[in-house]
Chain A
Amino acid sequence: MIFSIECEILLRLISLNPLKGYVILNAAKLFFCSFIVSFSFHTVNPENDGRRLQEFLLNMEAAIRDHPLWAGATEEEVDCAMEGLEKYVMTKLFSRTFASFAEDAKIDQEILEKISLLQNFLRPEHLDIPAVFNNNASWLLAEKELQKINAFKAPREKLLCILNCCRVINNLLLNSSMSENRVPGADDFLPVLIYVMIKANPPQLHSNLKFIQLYRRQAKLVSEAAYYFTNLVSAKSFIVDLDGKSLSIDETEFHDSMQAARLVIKETRIKTPPALDKPADLPVPSRRLHNKGGSNYPFMEAEAGELTVGDVERLLSLYKDVVNNYTNLCRAIGHPPLSKLQPSFPHSEETNVLLEQPEEIMKTDHKAVE
C-alpha cells in the first residue's frame, strides 16, 4: 500500500492522546502535509487524482477501524472522522483538484454561455412542465440551493447543495400533485430540475459535478444521493446537447430566439457599467432640489411638491438604474429580488418552512468555506 507509512505516522500520533476526535484533526494536519506534497509530484490528471484520493480515504478508514484506540468507536464516530478527513484534505487540495483542467474550464464556460442564452426565452411549456408545478417561489428557492454549490469547497457540502435543491423540487411536486391525485415521479422531476438548472445557471457546473463524482467518498455517493446526483448530471447533459428538437418549440423559433439572445447579451456587455456607476452622465436635477453631499441619488431629499414635469423623465431613468443594479446585485449574491418573493422573511426560516426536513443528512453545516 502506498500510504502505509503515512497511516502509521498518523496512528502513532493519534495514540499519543486519548481525545480521538481532537487529535485526529491535529494529526491529520501534519499527516496531510505529506499526502498533499505527494500529490504535487504528479501532473494534474483528475481521474488519477480521484483514484488516489479514494484509495487514500479507504486506507485511512481501514487503519482507523483497526486501531486499538478506535476499538470502541461507533460507526457514527468513524464516519464523522472520515467526513472530517475528506473535508480537510479536499479543502487543502482544492485549487489543484477543482476546475484546474483547462478542458473542464472550457466546458464550464460553454455551458454557462449556452444557459445564459436559453434564459432569455425558455419557458416551462417548452419542457412540457404542467402548469400545476409553476411556482416561482419554490423554483427560486431551488435555484438558490443550487447556486450555493460554489460557496463550498468540500465534496460533501457541494453534494448537499444538490440534494437540497432536489428536495425543494420534490416538495413542490408533492404539494402540487396532492390535489391532483397524481404521483410525481421522474417524468415530473427531471423537467423541473432542468428548468431550475437553467434559471440558476451556477458557474462551473460541469466542474462541480465532476469534483463531486471524483472526490466524494465512494461509500457516500450511493443510494438516494447517487440518484439525485445522477439527475443533475443528466440535466446538465440534456442542456449540453439541447437543440430545437429537444424542446416543445418550433425549430426555427428556437434558432431565432438563440440568435436574438446572442444579440441581447452582446448589447448588455457593451452597455455596462450602468449609469449609476458614473453619476457625471446623469442629467442634472432641477436647481430647487438639494443635492447634499454630492449624492448619487439627487431626489432623495426632494418633496413631491418640488418636482416639475421635467423631473419625471430623470426620475424614471434613475429608478430603472436602481432596479437594474439591485437585480444584478441580487443575482450576483444569489439572493432573489424582493419583487419575486414573498415579503422578506429570513432566509433560513424560509428554507425550513418549505423543506420540512428532519433528516440528518440534509443538515449541512452551511458555513461557507473561508
Chain B
Amino acid sequence: MGCSSSLPDRTSGRLGGLNSENGGAPDAKNLRVKLVLLGDSGVGKSCIVLRFVRGQFDPTSKVTVGASFLSQTIALQDSTTVKFEIWDTAGQERYAALAPLYYRGAAVAVVVYDITSPDSFTKAQYWVKELQKHGSPDIVMALVGNKADLQEKREVPVQDGIDYAEKNGMFFIETSAKTADNINQLFEEIAKRLPRPSPS
C-alpha cells in the first residue's frame, strides 16, 4: 500500500553529490534549497518525498540509492528552477535531540503529521516550536497533514491544521502520498515562498 511501488530507480542512480555541485553555482534563477523533513515515524515522510521525486519527469534529476537523501528540481513559471535537496530525519523519540544537526542551515522545514493520528499532530507542534527556537529565523516552514485519503479515519480536523499553521506563520496543506494529491502543490508553494536573492 501507500508508496510501496515508489522505490528509487537504482540502475539509473547517479549521485547528485560532489562532482556536479560546482557546476551550476546557485544564482537568482537557479536556487538550491536544503529542505528538512520532520515528523513522527510512520506519518508518510518517505512516501511524500518519493512521490514527489518519482512523479516528475526530469532527466537531469539525480536519484540516489536510498531514500533518506533525495533531490528534485522543479521549474517555475517565471523560468526559474529550484533544486530541492531533501533531508530525511529519523523520527524515533531517541533521536529527537539530534534534529538540530539536520535542520541547521535548512532553508525549508516540512513538518508532517498524519490526519488519522492526533499524537502525530501533537508531535508536529513540538517540532514547530523547536524550529522557532533553534532554526534559522528566515526558515520557510510548511505544515503538512498527510494521509488525506483516509477521510473516514480522520481524527485531526482540517481546521485545526489551518488554525495552527496560521498562528505560526506557516504554509499549510493536506496531502496524500497514496493518491499523489497535493504533493506537487506542496513543493511548488514552498518554492514560491522562498526568499529570492535580490537581483543586483
| CB within 8 Å for A187 and B16 given contacts A75-B22, A174-B7, A356-B10 | no
Interface residues of A in 182-225 (CB under 8 A from B): 182-191, 219-220, 222-225
Q: Mark A215-255, 1 if CB is under 8 A from B, else 0.
A: 00001101111011011011001100100001100000000
* A231 and B95 alpha carbons, distance in the complex (Å): 11
Interface residues of B in 89-141 (CB under 8 A from A): 89-92, 94-95, 97-98, 101-102
Name the B residues within 8 Å of A237 (CB-CB): 98, 101
| CB within 8 Å for A246 and B102 given contacts A185-B68, A356-B10 | no
Complex contact A246–B94 (CB within 8 A): yes
Complex contact B90–A361 (CB within 8 A): no
Complex contact A183–B3 (CB within 8 A): yes
Name the A residues within 8 Å of B97 (CB-CB): 241
Cβ-defined partner of B41 (8 Å) among A167, A182, A187, A361: A187
Determine if B67 is an interface residue (Cβ-Cβ < 8 Å).
Answer: yes
Q: Mark B15-53, 1 if CB is under 8 A from A, else 0.
A: 111110111000000001000000001000111001000
- List the B residue with the shortest CB-CB distance to A224: B17
- List the A residue with the shortest CB-CB distance to B45: A185
Complex contact A182–B4 (CB within 8 A): yes
Determine if A360 is an interface residue (Cβ-Cβ < 8 Å).
Answer: yes
Interface residues of A in 265-297 (CB under 8 A from B): none
| CB within 8 Å for A225 and B66 given contacts A230-B101, A237-B101 | no
| CB within 8 Å for A224 and B23 given contacts A234-B98, A237-B98 | no
| CB within 8 Å for A79 and B22 given contacts A174-B7, A234-B101 | yes
Cβ-defined partner of B21 (8 Å) among A174, A184, A219: A219
Complex contact A359–B15 (CB within 8 A): yes
Name the A residues within 8 Å of B64 (CB-CB): 170, 224
* A76 and B71 alpha carbons, distance in the complex (Å): 22
| CB within 8 Å for A171 and B71 given contacts A163-B17, A223-B17 | no
Determine if A181 is an interface residue (Cβ-Cβ < 8 Å).
Answer: yes
Q: What is the interface residue range for chain B against chain A?
A: 35 or more
Name the B residues within 8 Å of A170 (CB-CB): 64-66, 68
Of B3, B4, B66, B87, most A-chain CB atoms within 10 Å: B66
Name the B residues within 8 Å of A220 (CB-CB): 18, 21
| CB within 8 Å for A183 and B22 given contacts A223-B16, A359-B14 | no
| CB within 8 Å for A223 and B85 given contacts A186-B90, A238-B98 | yes
Complex contact A361–B98 (CB within 8 A): no
Complex contact A361–B101 (CB within 8 A): no
Q: How close is B21's CB to chain A, nearest CB, in angstroms? A: 6
Complex contact B98–A228 (CB within 8 A): no
* A242 and B86 alpha carbons, distance in the complex (Å): 27
Q: How close is A222's CB to chain B, nearest CB, in angstroms? A: 6
- List the A residue with the shortest CB-CB distance to B85: A223
* A190 and B85 alpha carbons, distance in the complex (Å): 18
Interface majority SS on A: helix, strand, loop or mixed?
helix
Chain A residues with a Cβ closer than 8 Å to the other chain, count: 46
Of A128, A166, A222, most B-chain CB atoms within 10 Å: A222
| CB within 8 Å for A184 and B17 given contacts A230-B101, A237-B101, A238-B98 | no
Complex contact B21–A223 (CB within 8 A): yes
Q: How close is A210's CB to chain B, nearest CB, in angstroms? A: 14
Determine if B187 is an interface residue (Cβ-Cβ < 8 Å).
Answer: no
* A186 and B96 alpha carbons, distance in the complex (Å): 12
- List the B residue with the shortest CB-CB distance to A128: B92
* A187 and B93 alpha carbons, distance in the complex (Å): 11
Complex contact B15–A189 (CB within 8 A): no
Name the B residues within 8 Å of A300 (CB-CB): none
* A170 and B88 alpha carbons, distance in the complex (Å): 14
Name the A residues within 8 Å of B41 (CB-CB): 187
Q: How close is A181's CB to chain B, nearest CB, in angstroms? A: 4
Determine if B184 is an interface residue (Cβ-Cβ < 8 Å).
Answer: no
Name the A residues within 8 Å of B87 (CB-CB): 227, 230
* A220 and B66 alpha carbons, distance in the complex (Å): 20
- List the A residue with the shortest CB-CB distance to B8: A174
Determine if B182 is an interface residue (Cβ-Cβ < 8 Å).
Answer: no
Complex contact A174–B10 (CB within 8 A): yes
Complex contact A183–B94 (CB within 8 A): no
* A186 and B22 alpha carbons, distance in the complex (Å): 26
* A241 and B87 alpha carbons, distance in the complex (Å): 23
* A296 and B84 alpha carbons, distance in the complex (Å): 63
Name the B residues within 8 Å of A188 (CB-CB): 68
Determine if B171 is an interface residue (Cβ-Cβ < 8 Å).
Answer: no
* A231 and B14 alpha carbons, distance in the complex (Å): 20
Determine if B81 is an interface residue (Cβ-Cβ < 8 Å).
Answer: no
Complex contact A224–B16 (CB within 8 A): yes
Q: How close is A38's CB to chain B, nearest CB, in angstroms? A: 27
| CB within 8 Å for A189 and B94 given contacts A174-B7, A183-B7 | no
Interface residues of A in 94-151 (CB under 8 A from B): 128
A-B contact pairs, 14 of them (CB 8 A): A167-B65, A183-B46, A183-B67, A185-B88, A189-B88, A190-B95, A223-B85, A230-B87, A230-B102, A359-B13, A359-B14, A360-B15, A360-B19, A361-B15
**Can you list the 7 inter-chain pairs with the closest CB atoms, starting with the nearest?**
A170-B66, A181-B4, A186-B88, A185-B46, A224-B17, A359-B15, A227-B69
